[in-house]
Amino acid sequence: MKKITLTQLECLRCGHRWFPSGNGTGEKPRCCGFCKSPYWNTKPTTVSKTRKRHERECKNCKIEKK
């Protein structure tokens, strides 16, 4: 059986996490799917309003607390 390893990408601006598309080219995405920032892989100097909004709104990234 062949093992497949998926790497999860994270926007350093808003905190959104996603798996890259399955196109197989290995290219990094141009922008974040949530905040649409082209600088998703560059660490910001301050915490943005978008990151705070993402923490409140994104249901895909929320971790259930037990």
For 17, list phi and psi in degrees, rounded to 5.
-120, 140
Q: What pLDDT score does 64 carry?
A: 53
Tell me the C-alpha distance between 15 and 54, whole Å. Answer: 7
Torsion, CA 20, CA 24, CA 29, CA 32, rounded to 10: -20
Residue 51: both structure tokens together: 């990151």
Angle, CA 6 vertex, CA 13 and CA 21 arms, to 5°: 65
Q: For 33-45, how does the pLDDT look when each residue is reduced to its tens digit (9 = 90+)?
A: 888 999 999 887 7
**pTM listed for this prediction:** 0.61
Q: For 2-21, how does the pLDDT look when each residue is reduced to its tens digit (9 = 90+)?
A: 887 778 899 988 889 988 87
Tell me the C-alpha distance between 62 and 55, whole Å. Answer: 8
